[in-house]
Structure 1
Amino acid sequence: MSKLPNITTSIFSVMSQLANEHGAINLSQGFPNFPVDCRLLDSVKQLLHENVHQYTPMAGLPILLEKIAQQTQKQYGRKVNPNTEILITAGATQGIYTAINAWIQTGDEVIVLDPCYDSYEPSILMAGGKAVHVALNPDYTPNFNQIEAAISSKTKMLIINNPHNPTGKIWNEQDFEALETILDKHPQIILLSDEVYEYISFAQPHISCNSREKLVHKTVVVSSFGKSLHITGWKMGYLIAPENLLNEIKKVHQFLVFSVNSVAQNSIAAYLDIVNLEEVKAMYQRKKEYFSSLLQNSKLQLLPCEGTYFQVVDYSTISKQNDVDFAKELITKHGVAAIPISVFYENKTDYKRLRFCFAKTDETLELAAEKLNRI
C-alpha cells in the first residue's frame, strides 16, 4: 500500500517535460540558465586537486559553518553557534523533510499556507502527520484569523515561506507581529520558516525569522545556497535552529544523507569570502524589471513581485480556461512554459494565474516575451 496514494508527478516535472517535447521556452521550473560565477568555478577547479574528497563531519564542514554564522550575524544581527545551531543539508528540500520528520509524529498536525510549495505535504505525510491547509488572502497576504482558527491541541508545527514561492509576496513587520502574538499563545508550535529566496527581495526588505527575538528559540530557518548562488543542481542548503531543535533534526539527517558533498562545501566556503550577496538582489531586480518591461504591451496582467525570481500573471482577459489547461496550451500553441498556481492549493483554487521564472538570460526572456506578446 502506498504511503503517498494521492501524490502524483510534480507539476515542475510535468511542465518541463512538456516543454522539452514541444521545444518551448521553459520559464516554468525555477532554475537559472545563465553561467555560474567564474570565481566559484575557479574555486572548484582548484579544490579538485586537493584533499577534499572524503566525508565531512555530519553537521557540515567546520569552516563553512563558521562562514554561515558570520554571514547570519552580518545580515540579520543574530549570533549563531556554528558548532550547535547550523546543519548543512543536501538542498533545502531535504532540510525541510528532515526537520518535519524529526519533530512530527503520528497524529500531529502541521499548518501550511496555500498556495504552498509542493514538498511540504508529502514530508508531513511521510512522518505520519496531517497537513492543515489555510489559504492566504487573494493578494497572498496571510490571514491570521484563519491561521489561529486552524490551531488545535494537535498542532505541532506551522510552515511559512518568505519570500514566497510561487507568488513573490514578502511578509511585513505587521505580519510578523501578528504571528508572534499567535505563537505566544501556543508555545508548543514549532515554526518552520522557508527562506530560500532570502537574498532576492526588491522594494520591500526581507524580514528573516533570524532577526525576530520572539521567534528564534522556536524556529527552524531553511536557507539555500542553490538559490542564493545560482547553483540549484548542487543541492546545497542549510538549517539554522536552536540546539534543542537541531539535535533532533541531526538524528534524522545522519541516517538520511549523513554528510553533504565535500567538494561543494569547500568551494562555497572559499567563495563566501569574495562574493557580495547584495549583488544577487540587484541582479534579479534588473531581470524582474526587464521582464516586466518586455511584457508591458501584452494582455497579461502582472501582479506585484516583491521577492523571489518568479513573476505571477493574470491571464483572465485572454482565456477562461482553468490554469492547468491554459498552461499546457501556452506550451503547445505558443511555445512558452509556465506553472499554474492552482496546483499549489489543496482545493485547486483557480484565479487564472500563472508563474513565470525570470532567472534566465536576457535572450531567453526576450524570446519568451515575443511569443507572449502575440497572444
Structure 2
Amino acid sequence: MHVAEVIILGKKELWFQMRTTDGMNWMELTFVSLSNGSGQVAKRLEKFKTTIFTQMSSLAIKHGAINLGQGFPNFDGPDFVKEAAIQAIRDGNNQYARGYGIPTFNSAIAERFKKDSGLVVDPETEVTVTSGCTEAIAATILGLINPGDEVILFAPFYDSYEATLSMAGANVKSVTLCPPDFSVPVDELKSVFSKKTRAIMINTPHNPTGKMFTREELELIATLCIENDALAFTDEVYDKLAFEVDHISIASLPGMYDRTVTMNSLGKTFSLTGWKIGWAIAPAHLTWGVRQAHAFLTFATSTPMQWAASVALRAPDTYYEELKKDYLAKKLILVDGLKSVGFFVYPSSGTYFVVVDHTPFGFENDIEFCEYLIQEVGVVAIPTSVFYLNPEEGKNLVRFTFSKDEATLRAAVERMKLKLKRR
C-alpha cells in the first residue's frame, strides 16, 4: 500500500493507494481529510511542506492525467549501461563503496570533466560521489555554509536549494530572472553582492526556464565572486542538453576553480533518474567540507551503479549527439503543440523543460490553472510560483517537460487542444 499526502492551496489531504499485481498501476482506495497544522516538523522546514513534484504527481495518478510535470523520462536508459550494472552485481560489487566513490568512477568523472571543461582535477582529492545531485547540493551547502551566511539564488530555482539553505541556517538573497529571455539583471546582481556574500548558487542549463547562462553573465558572476571572496555552487545536471549554445562551467573561468563546487549527475543524461548517482567536483579545501557533510548524510552511494556509471561516462560522443537529436525532436512536438493551443511559449535553450505564460486562459494564478489542467483537461504541468521567494513573481508561468516519448507528448497536446479553451 502507498500513502501519498497532498497539500494544495493550504488544504491538507491524505489518500491511500494500492499497487496492482503488474507493479505499474495504482488503484485508489480511499480519500480522507486531515486536520490542518504543522505537526512536529522543525520550524526551519515548516514552510516547505510536501514538494510540488509529489503533489502534482499524486494528483496525476488520482485523475489519470498525462504527467508533463515532473522531469523524469517515461522511457528507459541505454542497454549498455544497464548491462554494466547487472554485470557489476554478478561480479560481487555489492558491499559498501568507498565513501567518496569507487576509484574507477572517480576517474571517469575526472576524465569527463577534463573533456567538457578543459580542467584537470584529481579524482582522489577533488571528486566526491553522492546519491544524486540533490545530495551533492545538500552536502555542499551543509558542509560549506554556516548559520547566518548570505547565499544568492537566481529565481526561479530548483526547490531543494532554498530548503537545504534553510536547514543550514543561511540568509537567502534572491535575484529574479524575468521573461522573455530570463537574462541576469546586472545592476540588481551587483547590488545584492557584498562582503557578506558567502556563495552564489548557479544552475545552467537552468531549471525551470531552459535558460543558458551566457559567457558574459558567467564572467560577471565570476568577477563579483572574486571581488567579494565568495564561493560559486553550480548545478550542471543538464549540461548535455544544451541545444543552441555550448555549455560553460564557471569553474573553467580564470580565478574560479579554487572557489567553485561543480555538481552533476547521471540521471538526466542517461535517463536513469532512479539510480540517484551524482557527484561534486571542487578543490581539495572545499571538497573537505563537502565530504564531511556527505559522510553523515549517506556515507556512500550504490556500489554496482557506480561501476555502471563508470561505463556510461566513457560513452562515445555519438551517444550525446543522438541524445540531443532525440530531445530536439521531442521539444519541437511540445513547443509547436503548446503554441497551437494558445500558450505564449518562452525560449528554452537547454534542459528538457519549457516555460509558458498561462494567462490567455483566464486563470488568476499558476496553481489554480494547474489544478484545472489536471482535473478537467487531464494534463500535468508544474506551477512555477513555488520556485520563487515571492510567489507572486511566478504566478503567470507554468513549466512543462518534454522528457517523454513522442506518443505521450502528442496525446497531451491533443487533450489540451480538445479541452483547454480561452476564458
Fold equivalence (TM over 0.5)? yes
Tell whether the 8 Å contact from 1:163 to 1:171 is kept in structure 2 after alignment.
yes
Q: Structure 1 stretches of 5 or more lacking a match?
A: none
In 1, the alpha carbon distance for the partners of 2:218 and 2:314 equals 32
Q: Structure with the greater relative contact order (CA < 8 A, sep ≥ 6): 1 or 2?
A: 1
Match of 2:205 among 149, 163, 167: 163
Structure 2 residue matching 1:251: 3-state secondary structure? helix
Residues 19-30 of structure 1: matches in 2 within 5 Å?
A: 19-30=60-71
For 1:54-65, list aligned pairs within 5 A: 54-65=95-106
Q: Which residue of 2 aligns with 1:218?
A: 259
Unaligned runs of 5+ in 2: 1-41
1:186 matched residue in structure 2: 228
CA drift of 1:278 comes to 3.4
> Which residue of structure 2 aligns with residue 373 of structure 1?
417
Report runs of 4+ in structure 1 exceeding 4 Å deviation.
none
1:206 to partner: Cα distance: 1.4
User: CA offsets per residue over residues 170-191 of structure 1, 9 Å max, x none?
Assistant: 011111121122122111x110
Match of 1:174 in 2: 216
Q: Which amino acid aligns with 2:349?
A: E
- The percentage of aligned residue pairs carrying the same residue is 37
> Which residue is equivalent to 1:311?
354
Q: Paired residue for 2:188?
A: 146
Tell me the TM-score normalized by structure 1.
0.96
Whole-Å separation in 1 of the counterparts to 2:44 and 2:355: 33
Q: Paired residue for 1:73, among 107, 114, 137?
A: 114
Separation of aligned partners in 1, 2:110 and 2:194: 35
Deviations 1:12-46 (A, max 9, x none): 11111111100000000010001221111211222
User: Could you tell me how far 1:242 is from its partner in structure 2?
Assistant: 0.8
The whole-number CA distance in structure 1 between the counterparts of 2:212 and 2:240 is 12
Aligned residues: 374
1:288 maps to 2:331: yes
Which residue identity is paired with 2:222? E
Residues 172-225 of structure 1 deviation map (CA, whole Å, 9 limit, x = unaligned):
1111121122122111x1100111111101112211124323311110011011
Equivalences for residues 1-375 of structure 1 within 5 A: 2-139=43-180, 140-187=182-229, 189-275=230-316, 276-348=319-391, 349-350=393-394, 352-374=396-418, 375=420
Q: Give the RMSD, CA atoms, in angstroms.
A: 1.5
**Residue number in structure 1 paired with 2:12:** none
- Relative to 1, partners in 2 of residues 1:261 and 1:205: Cα closer, same or farther, differing over 3 Å? same
**Preserved CA contact (<8 Å) 1:284 1:309:** yes
Distance 1:137 1:354 in 2: 14
TM-score by length of 2: 0.85
CA shift, 1:296, in A, is 4.1
Q: Which moves more between the two structures, 358-367 or 143-152?
A: 143-152
Measured against aligned partners, the alpha-carbon deviations of 1:288-308 in whole angstroms (never above 9, x if no partner) come to 122223344211121101000
Q: Deviations over 1:205-260 (max 9, x none)?
A: 21112432331111001101111111111111111111111011111111211111
Within 1, Cα distance between the matches of 2:243 and 2:155? 23
